[in-house]
Amino acid sequence: MTTVPSVSLHDGVTIPQLGLGTARLPDEETRRIVREALAVGYRFVDTAASYGNERGVGQGIADSGLPREEVFVSTKLRGRDQGYETAKAALRASLDRLGTDHVDLYLIHWPLPRLDRYVESWRAMEELLDEGLTRTIGVSNFLPEHLDRLAAASSTVPAVNQIECHPREPQLEQRADDARRGIVTESWSPLANGGELLQQPVLTGIAARHRRTPAQVVLRWHVQQGLVTFPKASSRGRLVENLDVFDFELDDEDMAGIATLADGTRVNGQYPDVWEEF
């Protein structure tokens, strides 16, 4: 069984560097996949209230028989629940669906600048942290200007910023800004939804040289740069494949080749300064 290294957050909490993503999966399928992922060695599951599958995540963890403390669980505050009181109630509702008394990481899913409630939501999350309902708190899809506002209103620095990141959109400036603040960057959609990206000759060539798959090359690109990531997978074979990226290394030529794929393409055109998710 593959041992996944952990990344230390600025508050001392550690998070497995590679986990399981669950976006756009229904409860029953999520339950099966989470159970299988934990059986093959995953110890980090990422979900969100807006995914509608927190119950399936919790059931999959329960099915696994693993002690709760061995599984790192993150979920997210959806847009319609932003606000001081509503954010507090939202986490308690998520905990009820997950069947647990705490999560390990709670995130604001999107900044939603037009709504302008992420600062008061952050104050609520600080209190949820103090109450022990989450072990650490962070944000998702936040730009430097959003992080600046949090810094002006609070001394609590987000532990992570979960952003779209892959070879098409490597997010170099945002990652550098996160690092400057002591924030760990997490990559969502790390394979850019697979498909066309994984067919690129640059990646297929690197994969052939390392006797790996293109997906493994891309996931290695993430972890080798210190990013935390959580690809989706629906089959046991793909779950095992995605986890098996810690025993080879990309060299400078490989990394330079992958850098040529950067063209700023986002998978769904979700730009945080205007994207609205409720």
Annotated binding site for substrate: 109
Residue 201, classified by CB atoms within 10 Å of its CB into exposed (0-12), middle (13-18) or buried (19+), is exposed
- CA distances in angstroms from 185 to 15, 84, 233, 246, listed in the order given: 12, 25, 21, 19
Are residues 36 and 62 in contact, defined by beta-carbon separation less than 8 angstroms?
Answer: no
Burial class (CB in 10 A: 0-12, 13-18, 19+), 156: middle
- Measured distance CA(126)–CA(164) in Å, rounded: 25
Other CB atoms within 10 A of residue 1 CB: 8
- Judge residue 85's burial from the number of C-beta atoms within 10 Å of its C-beta, 0-12 exposed, 13-18 middle, 19 or more buried: exposed
Q: Which of 42, 51, 106, 118 is catalytic?
A: 51
CA distance 75 to 168: 26
Token pair recorded at residue 268: 């769904």
**Total residue count of the chain as it appears in this document:** 278
Instruction: Answer yes or no: 271 catalytic.
Output: no
Per DSSP, 141 falls in state S
Query: To the nearest 10°, the Cα dihedral for 242, 254, 225, 152?
Result: -120
CA atoms of 120 and 117, how far apart (whole Å): 6
- Which structure tokens are listed for 95? 């905990």
Q: Provide the annotated active-site residues.
A: 51
